[in-house]
Amino acid sequence: MNRPMKICIVAEGCYPYVVGGVSGWINSLINSFPNLEFVLLTIVANRSQRGKFAYTLPDNVTEVHEVYLDDVDWQRSGKGGRRMKLSQKEYRAFRGIILNQEVDWDTLFQMFQKKKFSIDDLLMGEDFLHIAAECYSLRYTQIVFSDFLWTLRSIYLPLCFILKMKLPKADLYHCVATGYAGVLGSMAKYLYGSQLLISEHGIYTREREEELIKATWVAGTYKNIWIEQFKKMSQLAYERADMVTSLYEHARELQMELGCPAYKTIVTPNGINTQRLANLPGKTAEDEGMINVGAVLRVTPIKDVKTMIQSFAFAKKKVPNLKLWIMGPCDEDEKYADECFELVENLQTEDIVFTGRIDIKDYLGRMDFTILTSISEGQPLTILESYAAHKPVIATDVGNCRELLFGVTDNFGQAGILTHIMNLAEISDAMIELAKNKEARLQMGENGYKRVMAGYKIEDMKATYKKIYQDFAEKQKLEWKEEPFRIKK
């Protein structure tokens, strides 16, 4: 008898450590298939995050494996000091990745998985020094070599920890990004002959590039090296994947521009539990006479909460009964959150509430409309959730927001107001417009409700991934059971 399929979800910096967004999507996906066994392979910053889960894991998750991008090198150095020596084939492979040439990933997988050595010995060794010196002489002679060498080591240290990871065995590796997750999935496919599915919510390479361009912790020249590294990892994932999904058509186009073969790509929109957000409680006595603006988000720079706060302050001068509810965790980037709190104090604007982590069912029905001022998004679940609650949305023109607000294939009509990123005037004007025009606000909310019910329900997403998973199971002649998965005792 064929055995049931075992799926390894590979995630970076999200599930099960933070709530919302991609984490919520993963949790919904696993819960949608109680008949399947899932293993988690999670990539986190360091061991301080070990086991600190924000979700109660579903019963069909049987294992959790963590890999840390900043960790201790547990492999001891060889006798007599650092004697790590690469073979000619290994040297060429390692040189290829650092010089941004064609990379022999299979040799790197073999080297890191089968050979016992200290990562510290490798990065402090003679071979790495020679490769770094060659790279320096070809491209970077305008900077100090010692700075370049240490920076190069810091760039490749996380990748070395990834390549050293002992992988759990599974039939299908479902990576919820390219990047480091894609490297792990590609390595598992090489080692075990498994299948590889990549699901991108945002385009990983583009997101990292945007972050690096804005970053202050890395100097200009080194930004290019980091960006090249992320591109190489994503190209590997696209090359090795059996299928690559995206949330909307433009994201699929970007994947192909970045080197993903068109025949591997498929669009799989997000889906939410619309029943969970049906018949929500409405406004309370506390809300009497107020126009409530809801922002369901993590308080982090990519959500650009500062622009939201400033825009609200301008809008409130025109509409005094506006109230902003910022609903979501403030502990992911505490420094940024503190800056947001300080901004509110400095502006001396009343009626801005930070709720912290909440169940949106308790608040969303009280809102008149919601707002998202992100500088980068994929296909935001918060917009779909707002629509399920009959609430219109103000959103910046990023990711799939334009299509969600105006529709692509339907004629339901506009479901909110689109603005440019970081545009205080446009965002504040949008708040004023929705606050003052109740009839338009209610109509936009109904337009959004029709849109989410037509194509973004959890049932739609489940049907799509059931077909994908069943096809993978059939290719490997694995059993597909409909009854709930049970751990054998």
pLDDT tens-digit series, residues 129-160:
999 999 999 989 998 999 999 999 999 999 99
Residue 482 lies in a domain: no
State residue 409's pLDDT score. Answer: 86
State residue 2's pLDDT score. Answer: 75
Whether residues 283 and 266 fall in one domain: no
Whether residues 464 and 436 fall in one domain: no
State residue 202's pLDDT score. Answer: 86
Whether residues 119 and 200 fall in one domain: no
Q: How far is CA 112 from CA 46, 85, 117, 190, 303, in A?
A: 20, 13, 8, 13, 37
Kindly report the pTM of this predicted structure.
0.90
User: What is the mean pLDDT of the segment spanning 91-95?
Assistant: 95
Query: Is a pLDDT exceeding 80 seen at residue 481?
Result: yes
**79 pLDDT band (50/70/90 cuts)?**
low
**241 pLDDT band (50/70/90 cuts)?**
very high
Whether residues 39 and 172 fall in one domain: yes
State residue 467's pLDDT score. Answer: 97
Last residue of a domain, one of 103, 134, 157: 157
Query: Is a pLDDT exceeding 70 seen at residue 82?
Result: no
Whether residues 303 and 388 fall in one domain: yes
Whether residues 110 and 187 fall in one domain: no
Tokens of 142: 């305008």
Separation between Cα atoms, residue 472 and residue 474, nearest integer Å: 5
Last residue of a domain, one of 105, 130, 157: 157
Query: Is a pLDDT exceeding 70 seen at residue 396?
Result: yes
SS3 of residue 201 by DSSP = coil
Average pLDDT of the chain to the nearest whole number: 93
Separation between Cα atoms, residue 315 and residue 322, nearest integer Å: 8
Residue 488 lies in a domain: no
Query: Is a pLDDT exceeding 80 seen at residue 219?
Result: no
Separation between Cα atoms, residue 22 and residue 359, nearest integer Å: 17
State residue 421's pLDDT score. Answer: 95
Query: Is a pLDDT exceeding 80 seen at residue 316?
Result: yes
State residue 211's pLDDT score. Answer: 81
To which residue do tokens 């972050």 refer? 211
Residue 484 lies in a domain: no
SS3 of residue 204 by DSSP = helix
**167 pLDDT band (50/70/90 cuts)?**
very high
Whether residues 313 and 405 fall in one domain: yes
State residue 397's pLDDT score. Answer: 97
State residue 1's pLDDT score. Answer: 45
Beta-bridge mates of residue 66: 42
> What's the number of domains the chain is made of?
3
Residue 249 lies in a domain: yes
Say if residue 180 is exposed, middle or buried (CB neighbours under 10 Å; 0-12, 13-18, 19+). Answer: buried
In tens, the pLDDT along 443-471 reads 999 999 999 999 999 999 999 999 999 99
Q: How far is CA 233 from CA 26, 100, 338, in A?
A: 22, 11, 34
Residue 368 lies in a domain: yes
Residue 480 lies in a domain: no
Instruction: Return the number of other C-beta atoms located less than 10 Å from residue 284's C-beta.
Output: 9
Residue 162 lies in a domain: no
In tens, the pLDDT along 47-61 reads 999 999 999 999 999
Residue 79 lies in a domain: no
Instruction: Return the number of other C-beta atoms located less than 10 Å from residue 331's C-beta.
Output: 12
User: What is the mean pLDDT of the segment spanning 64-79?
Assistant: 82
Separation between Cα atoms, residue 104 and residue 109, nearest integer Å: 9
In tens, the pLDDT along 171-184 reads 999 999 999 999 99
In tens, the pLDDT along 330-377 reads 988 999 999 999 999 999 999 999 999 999 999 999 999 999 999 989
Query: Is a pLDDT exceeding 80 seen at residue 390?
Result: yes
SS3 of residue 64 by DSSP = strand
Whether residues 293 and 180 fall in one domain: no
Whether residues 199 and 290 fall in one domain: no
Whether residues 303 and 414 fall in one domain: yes
Residue numbers of the domain that contains 125: 88-157
Instruction: Return the number of other C-beta atoms located less than 10 Å from residue 325's C-beta.
Output: 21
Whether residues 181 and 286 fall in one domain: no
Angle at 122 between CA 90 and CA 75, to 5 degrees: 115
Separation between Cα atoms, residue 341 and residue 331, nearest integer Å: 13
Separation between Cα atoms, residue 193 and residue 227, nearest integer Å: 30
Whether residues 258 and 119 fall in one domain: no
